């Protein structure tokens, strides 16, 4: 068993061959994760051992856990460390995946990041990727900013394909945010965390380096109510993390947190933002939470500074 700390973007397998995506840095009460793939004789995905799998969506994942493994139920699924039979770490499997897939090899060469700072997660890491699967890249710690620069340079030089309007609209439909398409696109295009390689969509996902641990502890605070605020971002070091964390200057709210990928990297230090969500009390601080539901309807983060520059 791998003894290095569990981080988001890792995957774990239990004794029933259920595969979970790690969604929390802390292991209080077990590894914090979300069920993603289960064995199914009629499943379209097949692992190297010949086991067929199918992907489960968010709602079904929580329903399955509640019905079959209720002791794992919680804000995220909590799998006892003793129930984990395998830990899959994206950075540690990169060499294998690059040898198996030319696209991964090319991405590895384009980003040219130090060993241990780049990897591939998702179905590819689990050995059950389909022909149409996306490539979910992971970059650790401060190397994420370098990867963003490499992605931008790759698109500008033609090594990496940019997203066309059809694909951007597909991403928008999938995210279904409380922002108009043009506003969504304005925020997304400056993040430099999406591209295509040989026609295959890929994204760059952030995870903390081991030096940045311990990370955020996944714990729900006391709900105070809903609010819409405007504030200046005073800290964005973990704006691409999960949850995305924005330290802000505001008379009441200390942080804005996003639990939906839509609003990661949404604003930069020094920018003025507008955010709408649920206010929670955490110790002596109040945090505004965005992404309290899967689609985060009625919840958003927008950079007013960015919008003003583009009006």
Domain positions in the chain: 11-88, 91-211, 222-309
Q: Which pairing describes strands 244-249 and 285-290: parallel, antiparallel, or unpaired? A: unpaired
Indicate whether 42 pLDDT > 90: yes
pLDDT digits (tens, 9 = 90+) for 130-168: 888 999 999 999 999 999 999 999 999 999 999 999 999
| CATH code assigned to 222-309 | 2.40.50.140
Measured in whole angstroms, how far is the alpha carbon of residue 145 from the centre of its chain?
16
Q: Are 71 and 103 in contact (CB under 8 A)?
A: no
Nearest to 93 by CA among 153, 32, 48: 48
Q: Which pairing describes strands 200-207 and 19-22: parallel, antiparallel, or unpaired? A: unpaired
User: Could you tell me which residue, 296 or 257, shows the higher pLDDT?
Assistant: 257
- Cα distances from 104 to residues 88, 93, 208, 263, in angstroms, run 17, 11, 21, 26
Indicate whether 238 pLDDT > 80: yes
Q: Are 19 and 12 in contact (CB under 8 A)?
A: yes
pLDDT (0 to 100) of residue 293 = 73
In this prediction the pTM is: 0.94
């Amino acid at each position: 068993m791998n003894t290095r700390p569990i981080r988001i973007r890792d995957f774990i397998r239990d004794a029933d061959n259920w595969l979970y995506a790690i969604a929390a840095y802390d292991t209080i009460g077990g590894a914090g994760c979300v069920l993603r793939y289960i064995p199914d004789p009629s499943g379209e995905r097949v692992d190297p051992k010949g086991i067929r799998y199918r992907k489960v969506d968010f709602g079904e994942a929580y329903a399955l856990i509640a019905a079959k493994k209720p002791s794992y139920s919680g804000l995220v699924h909590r799998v006892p460390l003793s129930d984990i039979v395998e830990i899959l770490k994206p950075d540690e499997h990169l060499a294998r995946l690059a040898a198996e897939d030319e696209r991964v090899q090319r991405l590895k060469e384009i980003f040219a990041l130090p060993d241990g700072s780049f990897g591939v997660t998702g179905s590819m890491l689990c050995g059950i990727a389909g022909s149409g699967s996306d490539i979910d890249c992971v970059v650790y710690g401060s190397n994420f900013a370098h990867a963003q620069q490499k992605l931008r340079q790759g698109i500008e030089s033609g090594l990496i394909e940019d997203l066309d309007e059809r694909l951007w609209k597909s991403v928008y439909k999938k995210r279904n945010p409380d922002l108009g398409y043009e506003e969504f696109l304005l925020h997304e295009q400056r993040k430099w965390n999406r591209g295509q390689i040989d026609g295959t969509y890929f994204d760059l996902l952030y995870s903390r380096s081991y030096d940045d641990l311990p990370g955020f502890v996944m714990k729900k605070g006391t709900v105070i109510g809903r609010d819409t605020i405007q504030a200046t971002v005073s800290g964005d070091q973990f704006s691409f993390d999960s949850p995305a964390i924005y330290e802000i200057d505001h008379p009441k709210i200390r942080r804005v947190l996003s639990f939906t990928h839509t609003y990661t990297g949404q604003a930069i230090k020094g920018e003025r933002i507008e955010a709408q969500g649920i206010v929670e009390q955490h110790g002596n601080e109040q945090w505004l939470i965005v992404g309290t539901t899967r689609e985060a309807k009625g919840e958003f983060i927008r950079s007013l500074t960015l919008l003003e520059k583009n009006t």
